Amino acid sequence: MSSGEQAPLLNGASEHAQQQEATHKRAKRVASGLLLLLFIGGLVVALWVFEDGLPSNPGKAARKILDRAPVIDGHIDLPILVRSLNGNNIDKVDLNGDFPGHVDIPRLRKGRVGGFFWSVYTSCEDSGVNFTSPTNSVRDTLEQIDVARLLIEKHSKTFSFATSVQDIKLAIFSKKIAGMLGIEGAHQIGNSIPALRQFYALGVRYMTLTHSCHNAFADSAGIFEPPAPVHGGLSALGVELVREMNRLGMLVDLSHVADSTARHALKVSRAPVIWSHSSARAVHDVPRNVPDDILKLLGKGKGKKDGVVMVNFAPFFVAAPGNATVEAVADHVDHIGNVAGRKHVGIGSDFDGINDVPVGLEDVSKYPDLFAELYKRGWTARDLVGLAGGNLLRVWEGVEAVARELQERGERPSMARYDKREDLPHEEL
């Protein structure tokens, strides 16, 4: 039979399938919209009730707030813990019980967690002077994405995989814990913007521009001492990377980056930004924390950009040895709230990626104690709802809006290539 004889039938079937798909999508959007209205309406009512009728006991007040507006943590390293303990064999992992480290389902529920980013981290490897020596970073990142998604699927009664703000709100409304993916360092994409696009397709929704090492895109802050700069901020390819992340709708994460990189990215990015797990340098002076002059760049108005700094619990970023406590972490939250504004601070614990923890914040079950401490300091219910996750969701919605605008006006995917690669021809950026 000729292709001409088949075409009318195929066209008819195709049109019918397209109509069915369009109808299904419309129904799904309507259902999702109704659920979101219920979620938002419930949150508005909750805020009204909170302001008028919170318990005087800080612990009870914190738990009441988090029952309605649960914690969304910007950075948890559960996948790398599973890699180191179990070789990524999910058959050996049961998060329903007492799992080693700082995270399991009973403790997540006790801590009033509504979602968290599963960091799909792989360590910096020596990639040579020009970052072109072969490493296993891309392979290992794919494996970490795989283990995170498989664990979310294995525990699907608890977790719901999320790639958008709407997904997170629907998960919370359904009493599940949203699971999102974040890459912790652009060294993990192999100098390749096309690789970034494929990681986005797999569900990754933020990428930290560096880890503790420089890469082809940007300079790092290191850990305790900043290394000598290579690019002086973003490279030309790094500018292209940030612009492509904006086009895709991927959150630009400035934790770990050099101050010069943060300032450069804030100028270049057309969308809001995040620090997924960073604290305040004025409170504890280490390069990994955010200095006040950069905090002052967050907000609205000329020369400012919306963003959220999600406070890290790692003791060596919080206080001098032996002084990391829940109160010390609250000092960081307070300081960021005072300098940048309380709409620009969130939670990014770094649990399961740190060997030590602050006294009073031993694991994910302890989040309410931090909120109780801030409530004692005068933080309102509205402030604490923002800290718990509302500020992150606002920023993410801004990122999604920018991506929609860029795509609707026809911005094309970046074809930029790293000029030190010898396997492909390249053009000047």
Give the C-alpha separation, 360 to 271, whole Å. 35
Q: What confidence score (pLDDT) does residue 426 get?
A: 59
pLDDT one-digit tens code per residue, 77-116 = 999 999 999 999 999 999 999 999 999 999 999 999 999 9
Give the C-alpha separation, 319 to 317, whole Å. 6
Catalytic residue among 73, 184, 219, 327: 184
With a cut of 50, say whether residue 415 has pLDDT above it: yes
Measured in degrees and rounded to the nearest 5, phi and psi for residue 177 equal -110, 115
| Residue 110 burial (C-beta neighbours within 10 Å; 0-12, 13-18, 19+) | middle
Instruction: Verify whether residue 77 is a known catalytic residue.
Output: yes
The DSSP bridge partners found for residue 389 are none
Cβ–Cβ < 8 Å for 176, 160: yes
With a cut of 50, say whether residue 14 has pLDDT above it: no
Instruction: Verify whether residue 67 is a known catalytic residue.
Output: no
Domain boundaries, the chain: 54-408
Q: What is the mean pLDDT of residues 112-132?
A: 97
Catalytic residue among 75, 102, 335, 344: 75
Helices assigned H by DSSP within 54-92: 58-68, 78-86
Catalytic residue among 73, 77, 104, 327: 77
Instruction: Verify whether residue 75 is a known catalytic residue.
Output: yes
Catalytic residue among 102, 155, 214, 256: 256
Catalytic residue among 277, 284, 332, 335: 277
**What ranges make up the beta strands (E) of 251-380?**
251-253, 273-275, 307-311, 345-347
Q: What confidence score (pLDDT) does residue 159 get?
A: 98
Cβ–Cβ < 8 Å for 96, 105: yes
Query: Token pair for residue 408?
Result: 């609707």
pLDDT one-digit tens code per residue, 346-390 = 999 999 999 999 999 999 999 999 999 999 999 999 999 999 999
pLDDT one-digit tens code per residue, 353-365 = 999 999 999 999 9
Cβ–Cβ < 8 Å for 255, 278: yes
DSSP secondary structure letters along 105-135: HHHHHHTTEEEEEEE--------TTTT-S--
pLDDT one-digit tens code per residue, 140-162 = 999 999 999 999 999 999 999 99
DSSP secondary structure letters along 268-304: H-SS-EEESS--BTTTS--TTSBPHHHHTTBSSSTT-
For the chain, percent of residues with pLDDT exceeding 90: 86
Q: Tokens 């529920």 label which residue?
A: 109
Q: Residue 174, Cα to own-chain centre: how many angstroms? A: 21
Of 366, 241, 226, the closest CA to residue 285 belongs to 226
> Predicted confidence band at 20 (pLDDT cuts at 50, 70, 90)?
low
DSSP secondary structure letters along 158-226: TEEE-SSHHHHHHHHHTT-EEEEEEEE-GGGGTT-HHHHHHHHHTTEEEEES-SSS--SSB-B--SSSP
pLDDT one-digit tens code per residue, 200-209 = 999 999 999 9
With a cut of 60, say whether residue 69 has pLDDT above it: yes
Catalytic residue among 306, 334, 350, 383: 350
Q: What is the number of other CB atoms lying within 10 angstroms of the CB of residue 347?
A: 27
CATH number of 54-408: 3.20.20.140
> Predicted confidence band at 11 (pLDDT cuts at 50, 70, 90)?
very low
pLDDT one-digit tens code per residue, 252-298 = 999 999 999 999 999 999 999 999 999 999 999 999 999 999 999 99
Q: What is the number of other CB atoms lying within 10 angstroms of the CB of residue 323?
A: 13
The whole-chain average pLDDT of the chain stands at: 91
Give the C-alpha separation, 351 to 367, whole Å. 12
Give the C-alpha separation, 104 to 19, whole Å. 43
Of 281, 282, 336, 285, the closest CA to residue 309 belongs to 336
Max CA distance (Å), the chain: 80
> Predicted confidence band at 32 (pLDDT cuts at 50, 70, 90)?
low
Give the C-alpha separation, 90 to 154, whole Å. 8
With a cut of 90, say whether residue 46 has pLDDT above it: no
Cβ–Cβ < 8 Å for 276, 270: no
Query: Token pair for residue 356?
Result: 């030590």
How far apart are the two ends of the chain, measured CA to CA in Å? Answer: 51
Q: What confidence score (pLDDT) does residue 348 get?
A: 98
Interhelix angle for 326-339 vs 367-376, to 10°?
Answer: 60
Give the C-alpha separation, 256 to 74, whole Å. 14
Residues in Cβ contact with 86 at an 8 Å cutoff, skipping those fewer than 6 apart:
92, 93
Interhelix angle for 78-86 vs 137-154, to 10°?
Answer: 100
The DSSP bridge partners found for residue 311 are 347
Catalytic residue among 102, 155, 187, 211: 211
Measured in degrees and rounded to the nearest 5, phi and psi for residue 294 equal -80, -40
Give the C-alpha separation, 220 to 258, whole Å. 5
Instruction: Verify whether residue 426 is a known catalytic residue.
Output: no
